[in-house]
Amino acid sequence: MGVRPVPVVSVIAALMLCICLAGCAGTPPKSSYSLDSNGFLSLTCAPVTTSEEVLFSTETYTKTRIIMHTQSGDVVMYLAAPQQPLAAVVYAPGAGERIAAHEGRLARYPAAGYAFAFVDIRGNGAETPGSPLNLQLDFERYQKGDWPQFYRTICDMSAARSLLAGRFGVPVYAAGSSNGGRYAAVAAALDPEFAGYIGISTSGFGIAGGQYTADATKFLLSVDPDNYIGRISPRTVWIFHSRADSIIPFDDGRKLYDRARDPKTFTEFYGGHGINSDVDDHIIAHWAQIYGTRG
């Protein structure tokens, strides 16, 4: 199958519409979505407002708790950034990951000159309300014409990217571990303003087979990274996987990588399942070659 034009997450268009409506009575622009016959998703994500709390600040970096106020509820994000970062990453955690597990990372990336944003994705059991990832439940929402939570999370990732890009004016990458890597892959494909994609211990779902109805197949394709990873090119794709991963098999990570188009890199890292210091070492060292380091 050939590569179709990349559907755009229309945050910019929605913002322009909001500007046009400023000062006029009426309802703010709303988010919307559609699927084509091949299950490719198109999203229009309404603009968000934010409120922020500085948790602490040093000469090296500032850590901030940000609440993105969306039309479908508040989403919490933690941002750690030096005053003038060289690049930034929007990170989607895997199931059950908490911000506390990333405290060292929130200091290390800014010390190297990069901003790191942890999106507390919907339903992950922490501060942002929602239900754990459940494709059956999301399909039922889709059948009713409601918003699947998966789609809302893609909009959240794009809103975070827009915030970082607007604030710092630097390249912003979509990254994620395990299930978070699945959200990040679809977000990077649908939002061409992401500089690239970093997937850790992740894979496609590989579930859109002939045993489903046509409507179910179309929905499953709309959330499957396997269906999107080839659309990120010519931006970079970087897949990390460990042979010791006991949750998502190493070969499944390779299959996702094989579906990507150049430029792409596959890195086998030391550890088990999920992001760790070895992954951080690789990312920071590579970015130092591209963007430099703190002077």
pLDDT number for residue 268: 98
For the stretch 141-177, pLDDT in tens is 999 999 999 999 999 999 999 999 999 999 999 999 9
CA dihedral sign of residues 48, 49, 53, 56: positive
According to DSSP, the residues that pair with 266 across neighbouring strands are 239
CA 213 to chain centre: 28
Give the model's pLDDT for residue 194: 98
Instruction: Specify the CATH number for 48-291; select among 3.40.50.1820, 3.30.420.40, 1.20.120.1200, 3.40.50.720.
Output: 3.40.50.1820
Burial of 91 (0-12, 13-18, 19+ CB in 10 A): buried
> What is this structure's pTM?
0.90
pLDDT in tens, 50-77: 999 999 999 999 999 999 999 999 999 9
pLDDT at residue 17 tops 80: no
* Percent of all residues in the chain with a pLDDT value above 70, rounded to a whole number: 88
- Quote the CA–CA distance of 195 and 237 in Å, as a whole number: 10
Cα distances (angstroms) measured from residue 122 to each of 88, 101, 203, 287: 22, 18, 20, 29
Sheet of 264-268, strands arranged across? 49-57, 62-70, 73-81, 114-120, 87-92, 172-177, 196-200, 236-241, 264-268
| Band of residue 295 on the pLDDT scale cut at 50, 70, 90 | low
pLDDT digits (tens, 9 = 90+) for 262-273: 999 999 999 999
pLDDT > 60? residue 135: yes
pLDDT, one tens digit per residue, over 41-51 is: 999 999 999 99
Instruction: Return the percentage of the chain with pLDDT > 90, whole number.
Output: 84
The predicted-structure confidence for 243-290, as pLDDT tens digits, reads as follows: 999 999 999 999 999 999 999 999 999 999 999 999 999 999 999 999
**Listed residue (199, 163, 155, 152) closest to 88, CA to CA:** 163
